[in-house]
């Protein structure tokens, strides 16, 4: 009898049939070849690596098997995550290999542990000043004075800020005026934050009610899904903290997901203060080797809590008891490369596989989640009021059409200017929000707020030179005329402004205020987002101007006024979620006001004040918004009443891209029965990095139906060789750009 073992191996090489082969396990490797390990195997004339999926005594009949060569370094992928990879590949139509790569976590040798160099000026302030004066070379003097103002810069930062070459810095070090310090950043970035183990606050009755339900499920080991729907400032974080503590005391581990770890500064501090070194933060600043270390702490059970962005959902916890998904509606949970998974969906699949409790939280739930609450799949827990009975902010909408007619050219309406002045006089803080997720090619009438939409899809039409308007979903086309079809104004078309212009205008309007701007540029240059936030929280800044970065999560009690300069840009995105995104943003940003003892107020400037997304966000009325939006989704056949798969074709020659997309569309129309095929149409970002992009949208009644249909088309359709056209598949796309 053949005692040999055989392993199913997915090879790391794109192979047509999915790339799973059977290999014999040589006797010497019987102990180490287990499911989830990486191995080297022969393939044709080459040696390739792969993952072992399964080991058994079954030898496939009639096939001559070759032997596994060796087992590679690294811990095997845990069984639960292997199963999850299988789920990922069928749910997101990606290769098993891509799915395995996602769940396998950082490779042990993925780059060296970081060593960063810091530079310090030598001596006290007087000595440094004297040295600057004595230096003959102006470039050296400039570099030293820049460093004196910001000690601890890296060499690159200093060169950039002072505008000097590497030799200038080297000369300063040689002269002993600058000290170079190598810092090994093996440590976790949050390791040395001052831990202030404040005792947990007494829960409010609503928090208590929500927590006790979660607590019961954890104690009973009952894998329920909870949806914590709490208004802004209602204390959702405290409920997560208690739930995590409950999981830990039940001897289980917890994963807490946030949309972007860099924007979750305040939350990280709270978790560190409560759980100390039991928390592993998977920060985007970590190099792979550091992430690997964090993963090992989790695997070994040293870290009971993992806090991180979407990829933390694959943390190798051995005893998972709880997964929390904060701000579950955030599009950042969607991975935009293969596997194009949504971390919320993965979290739910994983919780189900491992018998863990899931808690999803938001003040503005995704419409998909609303539908699941209604169907009973999620158990809803409500926090309907703010902590300490603080009132929700009062919101006033300013009609920009009237300002336009009155000839206002400023980004600030007269009303907003007056409110900001008043707050500055009272020494309160102001947040100014610029909704920049704009899309240049939209068409809006500045006089009446009219937007031209596709009659089939209800999507804002895009303008294309010289005189075309078209729909990015179904490719409906119409002639563009500068004359507004509603009010007859001749100036149809409008383009947004940047944060810099807002800052300039604000400085001119409010000269006595201390103003700071927070966007990608300023947070890259002046150190960190966190430092700016801390300064704002300490009251060192009167007016903070920012984009989407400041809209969420911010908890600064001194803010009593939030001004939204342009409510509408997200409304004009060619996306069926445009209204939802706008509502969420406005509601969330309004929620930053009045989180302290003083009540908050909000001013929203809009060209379409009668739009339901603007109106309901101004009333902070989520349920009315959801009802209205769900009705529209049902009418036009969008999620949660239908499922979408988007297939993008890209290549350097537009003609070929269109040809392949058209051929795919034809194949899809033949194969799919009840499903709808939209397009091909140009993607809203029709050209990215020199690649032309067109897409086709498959629409179906259920996710399974549309995925099956797409899978079938994909097995019969291959882009022509030599066409140079790439095809990528996005199941449940969150953005159609
Ligand atoms: N039980 C409590 N007693 C006193 N203060 C509390 C309590 N729970 C939470 N807080 C405080 O209330 C504020 C708001 O809480 P938190 O930031 O968790 O709100 P949230 O529901 O997450 O809001 P958002 O959705 O706007 O981010 C925080 O400053 C928090 O420390
Ligand atoms: Zn008009
Ligand atoms: Zn259309």
SS (H, E, C) 34-68: CCCCEEEEEECCEEEEEEEEEEECCCCCCCCCEEC
Please spell the DSSP secondary structure of 224-258, one letter per residue: -EEEEEE-TTS-HHHHHHHHHHHHHHTT-EEEEE-
Take atom 10 of ligand 1 and give the residue whose Cα is closest: 235
Distance CA 353, CA 30 (A): 28
Please report, for the domain that includes residue 340, its CATH number: 3.40.50.300
Nearest bound ligand to CA 469?
3
The CA 372 to ligand 1 mean position distance, Å, reads 26
Place of tokens 């430092």: 531
Closest CA to 68 of 91, 106, 39: 39
Residue 110: pLDDT over 60: no
Quote the tokens at residue 586: 């406005």
Considering only residues 541 and 175, tell me which one the structure prediction assigns the higher pLDDT.
541
Question: CB under 8 Å, gap of 24 or more: what pairs does 153-162 form?
Answer: 153/118, 153/119, 154/116, 154/117, 154/118, 154/119, 155/117, 155/119, 155/180, 158/119, 161/525
Ligand 1 interacting residues, C-beta cut-off 6 A: 201-204, 207, 230, 232-238, 363, 387, 553, 555, 591
Mean predicted confidence (pLDDT) in 579-597: 91
CA–centroid distance, 452 to ligand 2, in Å, is 10
The candidate with the shortest Cα–Cα distance to 195, out of 283, 268, 281, 284, is: 268
Per-residue confidence (pLDDT) for residue 185, from 0 to 100: 45
Pocket of ligand 1, candidates 555, 597, 617, 622: which has the most ligand atoms within 8 Å of its Cβ, to mutate? Answer: 555
Q: Closest residue (by CA) to atom 16 of ligand 1?
A: 235
Band of residue 644 on the pLDDT scale cut at 50, 70, 90 = very high
> Which pLDDT band, with edges at 50, 70 and 90, does 628 fall under?
very high
Distances in Å between the Cα of 418 and the Cα atoms of 510, 517, 618 are: 10, 20, 19
User: Which residue matches tokens 């990215």?
Assistant: 688
Selection from 461, 482, 464 nearest residue 473 by Cα? 461
Distance 570 CA to ligand 2 centre (A): 19
**Rounded-to-integer distance, Cα 328 and Cα 358, Å:** 12
Select from 196, 198, 238, 265 the residue to mutate for testing ligand 1; criterion: most ligand atoms less than 8 Å from CB.
238
Asked if residue 413 and residue 553 are part of one domain, the reply reads yes
332/259 same-domain check: yes
- Can you give the pLDDT at residue 190? 55
Q: Determine what percent of the chain is predicted with pLDDT higher than 90.
A: 50
Q: What pLDDT score was predicted for residue 14?
A: 59
**3-state class (DSSP) for residue 429:** strand
Which parts of 426-528 fold into alpha helices (H)?
A: 499-509, 520-525
471 marked among binding-site residues:
yes
* Selection from 425, 475, 456, 482 nearest residue 636 by Cα: 456
Mean pLDDT of the chain: 86
Asked, for residue 371, whether it belongs to a domain, the answer is no
- Listed residues 103, 129, 159: the one ending a domain: 103
Q: In angstroms, how far is the first alpha carbon of the chain from the final one?
A: 59
Say if residue 460 is in the same domain as residue 406.
no
Residue 255: closest CA among 126, 354, 383: 354
pLDDT at 70 over 60: yes
| 457 is annotated as contributing to ligand binding | yes
Query: What ligand has the least distance to the C-alpha of 447?
Result: 2
Q: State the closest ligand 1 atom to the C-alpha of 207, by its place in the atom list counted from 1.
A: 1
- Inform me whether the pLDDT recorded for 490 exceeds 90: no
> For 658-671, how does the pLDDT look when each residue is reduced to its tens digit (9 = 90+)?
999 999 999 888 88
Q: What is the ipTM of this complex?
A: 0.96
* Banded pLDDT at 134 (limits 50, 70, 90): confident
Could you tell me if 702 and 663 lie in one domain? yes
Of 31-35, 312-316, 402-406, 543-547, the one with minimum mean pLDDT is: 402-406
Q: Which ligand is nearest to the CA of 444?
A: 2
Domain edge (last residue) among 565, 598, 632: 632
Pull the structure tokens for residue 169.
Answer: 């810095």
Q: Is the pLDDT of residue 197 over 70?
A: no
pLDDT at 108: 58
Is 474 part of any known ligand binding site?
yes
Residue 150, domain CATH: 1.10.10
User: CA 289, CA 295: separation in Å to the nearest integer?
Assistant: 10
Question: What does the pLDDT look like over 678-723, one tens digit per residue?
Answer: 989 998 877 777 789 999 999 998 899 899 888 888 887 766 666 7
CATH code of the domain in which 667 resides: 3.30.70.600
- Going by pLDDT thresholds of 50, 70 and 90, the confidence category of residue 313 is very high
Q: Which domain holds residue 553?
A: 391-439+497-632
Rounded to an integer, what distance in angstroms lies between the CA atom of residue 632 and that of residue 653?
37
Q: Do 508 and 359 belong to one domain?
A: no
**In-domain check, residue 609:** yes
pLDDT at 625 over 60: yes
Residue 641 φ then ψ, to 5°: -90, -5
Ligand 1 atom closest to residue 236's alpha carbon, by position in its atom list:
21
574 CA distance to ligand 3 centroid (A)? 10
Q: Which of 129, 153, 184 is a domain's end point?
A: 184
Higher pLDDT, 577 or 49: 577
Q: Could you tell me the distance, in angstroms and rounded to a whole number, from the CA of residue 680 to the centre of ligand 3?
A: 11
- Rounded to 10 degrees, the C-alpha dihedral 311/316/317/323 comes to 20
**In ligand 1, which atom is closest to the CA atom of 588?**
26
The number of domains in the chain is 6
Residue 545 sits in the same domain as residue 518 = yes
Full-model pTM: 0.84
59 is in an annotated binding site: no
Starting from the CA of residue 241, give the closest ligand: 1
Residue range 230-248: average pLDDT? 96
What is the number of the ligand 1 atom nearest to the C-alpha of 203?
Answer: 1
Residue 128: per-residue pLDDT: 75
Question: Residue 273 above 60 pLDDT?
Answer: yes
Instruction: Consult the annotation and say whether 94 binds a ligand.
Output: no
Task: For residues 488 and 507, state if they share a domain.
Answer: no
Choose the residue to mutate in 233, 240, 241, 382 for probing ligand 1, maximizing ligand atoms within 8 Å of C-beta: 233
Same domain, 244 and 330: yes
Dig out the tokens for 624 from the structure: 């009315």
Using the predicted structure, report yes or no on whether residue 160 has a pLDDT greater than 90. no
Judge contact between 711 and 93, C-beta under 8 A. Answer: yes
> What is the distance, to the nearest Å, from the Cα of residue 562 to the centroid of all Cα atoms in its chain?
23
573 C-alpha to ligand 3 centroid (Å): 13
The answer as to whether 285 is a domain residue is yes
What percent of the chain stands above pLDDT 70?
89
Nearest CA to ligand 1 atom 25: 232
- The reported pLDDT for the residue numbered 15 is 57
**What are the start-end ranges of the H helices in 104-204?**
125-134, 138-149, 155-162, 166-174
Please check whether residue 190 lies inside any domain of the structure: no
- Of 349, 184, 187, 185, the closest CA to residue 281 belongs to 187
640 pLDDT tier (thresholds 50, 70, 90): very high
Instruction: Work out which ligand 1 atom sits closest to the CA atom of 552.
Output: 27
Q: Is 409's pLDDT higher than 90?
A: no
Q: Which helix (H) or strand (E) holds 268?
A: helix 265-275
233 CA to centre of ligand 1 in angstroms: 5
683 is in an annotated binding site: no
pLDDT at 1 over 80: no
Query: The tokens 């069928």 sit on which residue?
Result: 90
**Rounded mean pLDDT, 562-574:** 86
Residues 356 and 222 reside in one and the same domain: yes
At 113 the pLDDT is 47
Span 78-87, average pLDDT:
95
Residues 403 and 541 both lie in one domain: yes
Kindly report the protein residue whose alpha carbon is nearest to atom 3 of ligand 1.
201
Same structural domain for residues 132 and 70?
Answer: no
Q: What is the pLDDT of residues 455-469, one digit of tens each?
A: 888 888 888 777 888
pLDDT of amino acid 111: 41
229 C-alpha vs ligand 1 centroid, how far in Å? 13
Measured in Å, residue 560 CA sits from the centre of ligand 2 at 34
Full 3-state SS string of 650-696: EECCHHHHHHHHHHHHHHHHHHCCCCEEEEEEEEEEEEECCEEEEEE
Q: How far is the CA of 197 from the centre of ligand 3 (A)?
A: 55
Is residue 343 in a domain? yes
Which CATH number fits the domain that encloses residue 81? 3.40.1440.60
């Amino acid at each position: 009898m053949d005692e040999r073992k055989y392993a199913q191996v997915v090879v790391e090489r794109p192979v047509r049939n999915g790339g799973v082969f059977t290999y014999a396990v040589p006797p010497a490797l019987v102990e180490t070849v287990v499911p989830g390990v990486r191995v080297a195997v022969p393939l044709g004339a080459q040696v390739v690596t792969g993952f072992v999926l399964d080991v058994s005594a079954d030898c496939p009949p009639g096939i001559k098997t070759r032997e596994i060569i060796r087992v590679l370094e690294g811990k095997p992928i845990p069984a639960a995550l292997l199963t999850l990879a299988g789920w990922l590949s069928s749910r997101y139509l990606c290769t098993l290999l891509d799915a395995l790569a996602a769940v396998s976590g950082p490779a042990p040798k993925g780059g060296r542990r970081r060593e960063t160099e810091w530079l310090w000026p030598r001596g006290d302030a007087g000595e440094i000043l004297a040295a600057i004066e004595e230096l003959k070379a102006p470039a050296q003097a400039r570099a030293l004075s820049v460093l004196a103002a910001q000690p601890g810069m890296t060499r690159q930062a200093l060169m950039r800020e002072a505008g000097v070459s590497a030799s200038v810095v080297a000369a300063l070090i040689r002269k002993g005026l600058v000290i170079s310090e190598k810092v090994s950043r093996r440590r976790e970035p949050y390791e040395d934050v001052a831990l202030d183990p404040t005792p947990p606050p007494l829960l409010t009755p609503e928090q208590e009610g929500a927590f006790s339900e979660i607590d019961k499920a954890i104690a009973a080991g009952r894998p329920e899904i909870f949806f914590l729907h709490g208004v802004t400032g209602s204390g959702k974080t405290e409920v997560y903290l208690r739930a995590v503590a409950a999981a830990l005391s039940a001897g289980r581990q917890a994963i807490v997901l946030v949309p972007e770890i860099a924007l979750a500064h305040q939350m990280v501090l709270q978790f560190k203060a409560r759980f100390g070194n039991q928390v592993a933060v998977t920060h985007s600043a970590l190099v792979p080797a550091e992430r690997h270390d964090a993963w090992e702490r989790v695997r070994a059970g040293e870290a009971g809590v993992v806090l991180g962005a979407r990829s933390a959902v694959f943390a190798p916890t051995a005893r998972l008891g709880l997964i929390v998904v904060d701000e579950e509606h955030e599009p950042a949970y969607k991975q935009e490369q293969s596997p194009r998974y949504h971390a919320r969906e993965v979290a739910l699949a994983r919780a189900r596989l491992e018998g863990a409790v899931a808690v999803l939280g938001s003040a503005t739930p995704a419409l998909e989640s609303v539908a699941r609450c209604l169907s009973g799949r999620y158990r809803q827990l409500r926090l309907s009021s703010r902590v300490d009975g603080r009132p929700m902010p009062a919101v006033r909408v300013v009609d920009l059409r009237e300002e336009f007619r009155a000839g206002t050219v400023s980004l600030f309406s007269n009303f907003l200017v007056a409110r900001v002045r008043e707050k500055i006089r009272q020494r309160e803080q102001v947040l100014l929000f610029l909704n920049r997720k704009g899309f240049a090619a939209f068409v809006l009438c500045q006089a009446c707020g009219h937007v031209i939409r596709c009659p089939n899809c209800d999507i804002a039409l895009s303008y294309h030179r010289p005189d075309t308007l078209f729909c990015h979903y179904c490719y409906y086309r119409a002639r563009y005329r500068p004359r507004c079809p509603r009010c007859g104004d001749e100036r149809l078309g409008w383009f947004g402004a940047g944060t810099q212009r807002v800052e300039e205008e604000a400085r001119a309007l409010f000269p006595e205020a201390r103003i700071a701007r927070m966007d990608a540029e300023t947070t890259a240059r002046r150190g960190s987002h966190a430092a700016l936030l801390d300064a704002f929280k300490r009251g060192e800044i009167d007016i903070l101007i920012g984009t989407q970065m400041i809209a969420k999560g911010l908890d600064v009690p001194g803010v009593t006024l939030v001004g939204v300069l342009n409510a509408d840009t997200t409304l004009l995105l060619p996306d069926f979620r445009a209204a939802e995104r706008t509502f969420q943003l406005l509601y969330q940003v309004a929620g930053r006001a009045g989180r302290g003892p003083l009540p908050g107020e909000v001013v929203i400037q809009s060209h379409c004040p009668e739009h339901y997304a603007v109106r309901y966000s101004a009333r902070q009325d989520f349920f009315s918004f959801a009802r209205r939006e769900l009705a529209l989704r049902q009418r036009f056949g969008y999620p949660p009443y239908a499922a979408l798969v988007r297939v993008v074709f890209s290549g350097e020659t537009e003609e070929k891209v269109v040809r392949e997309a058209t051929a795919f569309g034809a194949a899809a129309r033949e194969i799919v029965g009840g499903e709808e095929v939209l397009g091909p149409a140009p993607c809203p970002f029709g050209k990215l990095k020199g690649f032309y992009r067109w897409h086709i949208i498959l629409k179906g009644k259920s996710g399974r139906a549309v995925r099956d249909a797409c899978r079938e088309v994909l097995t019969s359709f291959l882009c022509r060789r030599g066409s140079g056209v790439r095809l990528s598949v996005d199941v449940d796309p969150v953005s159609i750009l």
